[in-house]
Amino acid sequence: MMNSISDGLVYGHRLTPGKSEAMLTWADVESWQPDQGLLWIHLDASNETALNWLEQHGGLSPLTREALLELGTRPRSVVSESGVLVIFRGVNCSPGADPEDMVAIRMFISEKRIITMRRQRVMAVQDIHESIVSGNGPTTAGEFFVALIDRITERIGEIVGDIEDRVAEVEDTIVSAETAELRPLLAELRRESISLRRYIAPQRDMLARLTHERIAWLTEADRTLLRETAERTARYVEDIDTARERALISQEELNNQLAERMNRAMYTLSIVAAIFLPLGLLTGLLGINVGGIPGTDSPWAFLIVTVFLVVLAIVLVAWFKKLKWL
């Protein structure tokens, strides 16, 4: 049976080895018993029906409910006897959204029941749903847990790789491209790196802690996959730091190029001023409106003065070249 997402139940599955029931209804969820297999429900946190069910029938402590519904939160985990509360951050794959504007995935997981919450669509959760529908999905809580983390981390890796590629492109074109084109691009790359690291770094720490927690429903194979995912996340954090440092170095190189161009322009203007300063002094002296200016009555005076000024300019240029100023 299919349910409508408008009732707050986005996905609902009852999982047993070799079998899964696709898209349970609220009636199926309320009639579920632990001996019937692993129950997974994915709820819309903005839907009133889902919120009422979570409060009245969820069987969760007030603190756990509050954490699942909290608007702004960083990645964290809380292990208790009843289950594990985990809050992840994943890439925002919604059309028109910035990938680094990460979305939250809130989950309470125990050996027999999984509750996940969303406010925006999370592609990693949809991947799990599609794999279950196709008959290739997880059948235990541990498999579900590591599969979801793996898909979240995989998409983060794609974004980190894209940032690294764009930084490399900037480094390759930094000599030939216009400064005005590259500076906004570098600023955007640094902003994306900082935004990603803000959530991925605590997620790395959280995964590292979970690998050492005593969680009964995690098998040794699950723990191995969890450790690998934690190591990948740690590597992505390092890659982000490296990309940000490379972007900063590229920004400094651009600033150096700009400063060099300005210095070169000022140097050229200084040389031109040095050449024309004595010429301007002479022409200024000859242009004063007082008596006694030599050559006033000579028809050759202007030509003589012009030739003298040209020769003086040539001498100044030759002298500057000898001094290696030009």
Report H helices in 174-219: 179-210
Domain boundaries of the chain, sorted by first residue = 5-256
Quick one: pLDDT at residue 239?
92
SS3 of the chain: helix, strand, coil, percent, to 5: 60, 15, 25
Q: Which CATH class, in words, describes the domain spanning 5-256? A: alpha beta
Average pLDDT, the chain: 84
Establish how many alpha carbons lie within 13 A of residue 200's alpha carbon, considering only the half-sphere containing its beta carbon: 31
- The mean pLDDT of 144-170, rounded to a whole number, is 90
What's the rounded Cα separation, in Å, for the pair 254 and 260?
10
**Which DSSP string corresponds to 69-101?**
H-SS---EEEE-SS-EEEEEEE---STT--TTS
More confident: 115 or 118: 115
Question: Which residues have a Cβ under 8 Å from the Cβ of 311 and sit 6 or more positions away?
Answer: none
Amino acid letter, residue 159: I
Confidence of residue 116 (pLDDT cuts 50, 70, 90): very high
What's the rounded Cα separation, in Å, for the pair 100 and 118?
17
Quick one: pLDDT at residue 1?
38
Quick one: pLDDT at residue 249?
85
First to last CA, the chain: 85
Query: Is the per-residue pLDDT at 308 higher than 90?
Result: no
